[in-house]
Structure 1
Amino acid sequence: MLAAACGASQELDGASPPYGTSDAGASGSGSAGCLSSNECPTGYLCNDFGVCVAPPTPTTDAGVPPPPEVEYEFGAPISSERFVYVAMTAQDELARIDGRSLEVVSTGVGKEPREVSAIPHSDGAVVLDSINGTVTVVRPRTNSSEPDRIRVLPTLQNLNRLDIDPSGRYAVIWFDLTKALHDGVLTGIGSFQDVTVVRLAAGNERAVDLTVGFRPRAIEFDATGNRAYVITQDGVSVIDLGYATDHEASIVPPIPMVDPAFSADTSEIHVVATGEYATVSQGDVAALRVVKVGGANLGQAWTIPLASPPTDVDLAPDGARVYVVQRAAAKLAIVDIPGDAITPGGIEQIDLSAGALGSLTLSANGTRALLYTNATLDERITLVKLDQPGYPRTTWPLKKSVRAVGLAPTGDTAIVINAKAFGDPATAASVDEFIDRSYGYSLLDLATGFAKLQITPVDPGPFVYSPDGSKAYVALDGGDGVVATRALQIVTTQTGVVTTKNLGSPPSAVGILPGAGQAFVAQRHPLGRVSFVELVADTVRTVTGFDLNGNVVN
């Protein structure tokens, strides 16, 4: 597990089928790997295990439901401006690599560390062991004559997720059953109803255990980092982090979120940045539920009728708006929070019948939205300007359909990870069919709609933008074979020029160290390997073997 600084950039975590095998033109339609339904044969769906399967037999006269949209989480791993951290599980150590000097420092931590996260706005990191139930807070030495400052705190046993609030003052550690199933680690099952909250203040660290709702599935924070929201099957347990870490263990009962008439298993819950309200979409219900989770009248709920069931819900960065995509109705609802929940007549509905929609990606500042679908092979993308009267929108054609989208931190370009249509490009009967069946990504200019298509030999993997948006870094991981593709592509966004840097090992993660002026790409290697790319000159240096203080290759 690796944690590193990426500034204001964005990263797609994993672009290979997570459970299936990649489509290489196999004829068995039920065994093809996929990441979205538009990568499956016509009429098939991409299931939760990354495999194309036949749709369920309809049980009513309504027929087979349309394929679902697949939402990809984009998030910049946060850390110091300067260091990359790697958990060395076999050595019971945490490696810290200096992005400026490439010096490697190893610090002893708990038994078999796997989960590590860097502390925002500092050079420190938090690492969770997987055996003894401890968490270690590591802060780098300020000069070479001092040791690192280390604090070991107790946690509940068998926890496997670590989330740090945006201010860097608190961490919430919990057990995620979905992650355990994904990782194939079921030998130690953690609590389905307890979390450990850690205060990270230097010299005043403290851990406390809390009981929350049943089976946590996500942790969210308000923008200030004062409160954590544990999203569970029973609702949302709201933790006042300062109060909790000043007191002893206690119970934090959940606030009910879902209308009792509907299943919680098909509901999606998010908390707006202010921390005062949560939004709930409930499966195929044509409505959005808004629930009070802060201040007075906790649990008070309003139901907002929609034109069709929501296929994607996104929150404005300031918490003042919610954007709801309604694919069947071809509309985007703009909901002011809390005003439109209390008086739904104020909701604005944008007609998008001329474009493609189903999913939405929002810019970091909330002024631009890109709408597309990854449920079908639709080669269109729509830009909506959310900061202008009337919300001007433009739909542009693409050369390939869309799997996922990530916008530059500056909001002027986007990397579109294109979907690969089912089938082998070598058997294509036309140029268009060859392109559709190939892997690739596009650089989209949001001022003009011009898209530069880059066909790739393997599925594009994680990618990240530089802080100023001038370059994007796309990892190409062809697997562990001796002759497999293993490279980092550098995209200059103003010119569209793509430079390929071959790597010594398959890439697993990419990121940015703004304080060091470096991009980095972590790689799968038995001794550990990270390559650093200078942001301006694109020169590459590689460090291998963290437990031996590294072997730096310029």
Structure 2
Amino acid sequence: MRRISVLTLGLSTALIACSDSNLIRNADGAYDESDTGASDDTGAAGESPDDDDDGASEREDDFIKLLPATTNQYIFVVNSARDTVSRVSVPSLQVLTVEVGSRPKVVRTTADNQRAIVFNEGSDDLTILNAETLEATVVPVLPYLNAMVLSDDGVWAVVYRDSDEEDDGSTGGAQSFNELSIVNTVTGDHFSEVVGFKPRQVKFTEDSSRALVVSDEYLSVIDLSGEDPEVQVVEIAEDLLDPPPAEEIEVSPDGAYAFLRQFGEDSIALVDLNTLTVDRLPTGQNPTDLDLSPDGASAVVVSRGSNELYVFDVENPYGAPEVIALPSEEFIGSVQFSPDNTKAMLYTTAALVDHYTTWDLATGELTVRPLIKPIQSVNVTPDGGALVVFHTEADAEGADTTSEFYGEWAMSMISLTDFRRNAILLSAEPTAYADSLDGRWGFFVMEDKPFLEVLDYDNLGLTEIKLRSNPVHVGVLTGTSYAYVNQDHELGRLSFYDPDAELLETITGFELNSGIEH
């Protein structure tokens, strides 16, 4: 490993006083590498929902592909084109860049803040960095893998080939679609295991004692509690010759049950993780979304085909579910809970529908509300005070062709107190988004546009900050409301913005000890 450069940028007093913040991702509000198998098609203008449900998957957007990782002191940012990782210290904003393997794809930090784990797709290895000293341990993994998931305790990394993700394909003579790598990030030990064909998702139990690998036919349960991982495979598809796509998995907080949704099935699979038995829970026609409530007490299934919600008791999932009829004229396939567990948003991303429904969890009241355009992705702010909707470029059937928003990208901020909204016309598609944990500020960037967009959730206002080059992704520094933007620049460029002080500072050429700009 070679250290390339060190630069320090002064931190304002206003920044030091900022409240806690963190990265968030997409419609879930929490980063998860899972892919639901949903289509990326936002539809052509004028496309409308099919009354018989045309079978399209709901879309859950992965806004940030090269998501930075945080500890209580540092931010780690992948520079994939330059085979490096940059560490930003908080609050000094000192930047230190180190070389890692070829084509680093993702970096994750461990829960104890001691290590940063980098998956290098080009060199087929992990670089395990000491967060403080940046000393590196390199662990080879199997070739042709393209995704990594880290356990909550930070001890285990599972590297696998995500069948839903595009990659460069095999250049060798043989390739397995069943093998994955398991790495103990503390000891550096590597284990190769065989799981179901073409894994779609990997998830850990909350106590990190098991890793669950989902493929269409099987759920592979990997016991991580012993010295070496042990794999058991459970059949989850009733038709092994033509299994339905496995799109989602949710795990009960106590690790007792796994709930699996398979596209097109009129039930979900319930796996008892202690006995490894599988049961089917009826859910109505064509369930298209599965989520746990924020308190972990309920598993909620949206059955788009029968226009119903099925609410299961997580502690007793075999009991009769509560069945809630949705508004008869609505086309609803997704659910998004507010973090405070008081309300949920019901909507679709599979058709061009320009309205959504709010669900009051205390009273059960369902209210249909308008939007300016159909939905591409949805996020509730961390404090539950506002709803952020990024819209499709395409329009709903019958949309006003004279509207300023017709045929354009747009987003909306909506108060979840009185439901007033601020609809904003965008010049390009949004590509990355982050919130401060206090729920005051949001930030996003757009494709090939040199701007940082700042959202003030207190008044639903927007401020546009000019950048010196096009952004790659955006995040929030640990323990602050301070945004950072990694930009497309051959020498490396990072900008930091303090929304309270309205201060932008930029480091350019941090890999080659180049200039600091203010």
TM-score of the aligned structures, taking structure 2 as reference length: 0.83
Assess if the C-alpha contact under 8 Å between 1:445 and 1:451 holds in 2: yes
Amino acid at match of 2:184: R
The equivalent residue for 1:528 is 492
One of 427, 436, 440 as aligned partner of 1:457: 427
What is the number of residues matched between the two proteins?
482
The equivalent residue for 2:26 is 12
Does the C-alpha gap of structure 1 residues 90 and 304 become closer, same or farther in structure 2, counting only changes over 3 Å? closer
The equivalent residue for 2:469 is 505
One of 322, 334, 345 as aligned partner of 1:370: 345
Amino acid at match of 1:71: E
Distance in 2, matches of 1:163 and 1:263, equals 28
Does the C-alpha gap of structure 1 residues 363 and 199 become closer, same or farther in structure 2, counting only changes over 3 Å? farther
Structure 2: unaligned runs, 5 residues or longer: 1-19, 28-38
The equivalent residue for 1:407 is 380
Does the C-alpha gap of structure 1 residues 550 and 347 become closer, same or farther in structure 2, counting only changes over 3 Å? farther
> Once the 2 structures are TM-superposed, how far is the Cα of residue 488 of structure 1 from its aligned partner?
1.1
The C-alpha deviation readout for 1:41-88, integer Å capped at 9, x for no partner, is: 33589xxxxxxxxx9xxxxxx988365432335788642134332334
Asked if 1:227 is matched to 2:195, the reply is no
The equivalent residue for 2:243 is 264
Asked if 1:187 is matched to 2:174, the reply is no
Assess if the C-alpha contact under 8 Å between 2:250 and 2:291 holds in 1: no
> Once the 2 structures are TM-superposed, how far is the Cα of residue 493 of structure 1 from its aligned partner?
0.7
The equivalent residue for 1:349 is 324
Asked if 1:84 is matched to 2:75, the reply is yes
> Once the 2 structures are TM-superposed, how far is the Cα of residue 406 of structure 1 from its aligned partner?
0.7
The C-alpha deviation readout for 1:438-475, integer Å capped at 9, x for no partner, is: 21100011111111101111122221111111111121
Assess if the C-alpha contact under 8 Å between 1:335 and 1:347 holds in 2: yes
Distance in 1, matches of 2:400 and 2:331, equals 27
Asked if 1:291 is matched to 2:271, the reply is yes
- Secondary structure of 1:547's counterpart equals coil
Distance in 2, matches of 1:88 and 1:463, equals 18
Matches within 5 A, 1:123-272: 124-141=115-132, 147-179=133-165, 182-187=166-171, 191-201=176-186, 204-243=187-226, 246-247=227-228, 252-260=231-239, 263-272=242-251
> Once the 2 structures are TM-superposed, how far is the Cα of residue 323 of structure 1 from its aligned partner?
1.0
Asked if 1:42 is matched to 2:42, the reply is no
Does the C-alpha gap of structure 1 residues 152 and 504 become closer, same or farther in structure 2, counting only changes over 3 Å? same
Distance in 2, matches of 1:319 and 1:190, equals 39
**Mean CA deviation greater in 436-445 or 313-322:** 313-322
Distance in 2, matches of 1:148 and 1:439, equals 42
The equivalent residue for 2:105 is 114
The C-alpha deviation readout for 1:177-210, integer Å capped at 9, x for no partner, is: 443xx24454368642222222233xx4433222
> Once the 2 structures are TM-superposed, how far is the Cα of residue 414 of structure 1 from its aligned partner?
1.3
Matches within 5 A, 1:464-483: 464-477=434-447, 479=448
Amino acid at match of 1:260: D
The equivalent residue for 1:444 is 414
Does the C-alpha gap of structure 1 residues 534 and 429 become closer, same or farther in structure 2, counting only changes over 3 Å? closer
Does the C-alpha gap of structure 1 residues 212 and 430 become closer, same or farther in structure 2, counting only changes over 3 Å? closer
- Secondary structure of 2:225's counterpart equals helix
Asked if 1:65 is matched to 2:54, the reply is yes
TM-align CA RMSD: 3.1
Does the C-alpha gap of structure 1 residues 366 and 238 become closer, same or farther in structure 2, counting only changes over 3 Å? farther
Distance in 1, matches of 2:59 and 2:406, equals 19
> Once the 2 structures are TM-superposed, how far is the Cα of residue 114 of structure 1 from its aligned partner?
3.3
Assess if the C-alpha contact under 8 Å between 1:175 and 1:191 holds in 2: no
The equivalent residue for 1:280 is 260
Assess if the C-alpha contact under 8 Å between 2:21 and 2:480 holds in 1: no
The equivalent residue for 1:392 is 365
Amino acid at match of 1:85: F
Distance in 1, matches of 2:144 and 2:331, equals 44
- Secondary structure of 2:235's counterpart equals coil
Does the C-alpha gap of structure 1 residues 193 and 69 become closer, same or farther in structure 2, counting only changes over 3 Å? closer
Does the C-alpha gap of structure 1 residues 495 and 190 become closer, same or farther in structure 2, counting only changes over 3 Å? farther
- Secondary structure of 1:525's counterpart equals coil
Distance in 2, matches of 1:117 and 1:190, equals 27
Distance in 1, matches of 2:473 and 2:141, equals 28
Distance in 2, matches of 1:289 and 1:139, equals 40
The equivalent residue for 2:11 is none
- Secondary structure of 1:514's counterpart equals coil
Does the C-alpha gap of structure 1 residues 96 and 549 become closer, same or farther in structure 2, counting only changes over 3 Å? farther
Assess if the C-alpha contact under 8 Å between 1:234 and 1:254 holds in 2: no
> Once the 2 structures are TM-superposed, how far is the Cα of residue 305 of structure 1 from its aligned partner?
2.5
> Once the 2 structures are TM-superposed, how far is the Cα of residue 35 of structure 1 from its aligned partner?
4.3
Does the C-alpha gap of structure 1 residues 467 and 549 become closer, same or farther in structure 2, counting only changes over 3 Å? farther
Assess if the C-alpha contact under 8 Å between 1:136 and 1:151 holds in 2: yes
> Once the 2 structures are TM-superposed, how far is the Cα of residue 99 of structure 1 from its aligned partner?
4.5
Distance in 2, matches of 1:236 and 1:332, equals 25
Amino acid at match of 2:234: I
Distance in 2, matches of 1:374 and 1:366, equals 22
Amino acid at match of 1:200: T
- Secondary structure of 2:479's counterpart equals helix
The C-alpha deviation readout for 1:493-536, integer Å capped at 9, x for no partner, is: 11122110111222221111123542112222222222111242
Amino acid at match of 1:84: I
One of 296, 303, 306 as aligned partner of 2:283: 306
Distance in 2, matches of 1:310 and 1:469, equals 31
Amino acid at match of 2:376: R
The equivalent residue for 1:330 is 307
Does the C-alpha gap of structure 1 residues 550 and 158 become closer, same or farther in structure 2, counting only changes over 3 Å? farther
Distance in 2, matches of 1:414 and 1:307, equals 28
Assess if the C-alpha contact under 8 Å between 1:162 and 1:171 holds in 2: yes
Asked if 1:98 is matched to 2:89, the reply is yes
The equivalent residue for 1:58 is none
TM-score of the aligned structures, taking structure 1 as reference length: 0.78
- Secondary structure of 2:511's counterpart equals helix
Does the C-alpha gap of structure 1 residues 190 and 138 become closer, same or farther in structure 2, counting only changes over 3 Å? farther
Assess if the C-alpha contact under 8 Å between 2:126 and 2:141 holds in 1: yes
Does the C-alpha gap of structure 1 residues 333 and 232 become closer, same or farther in structure 2, counting only changes over 3 Å? same
Amino acid at match of 1:114: K
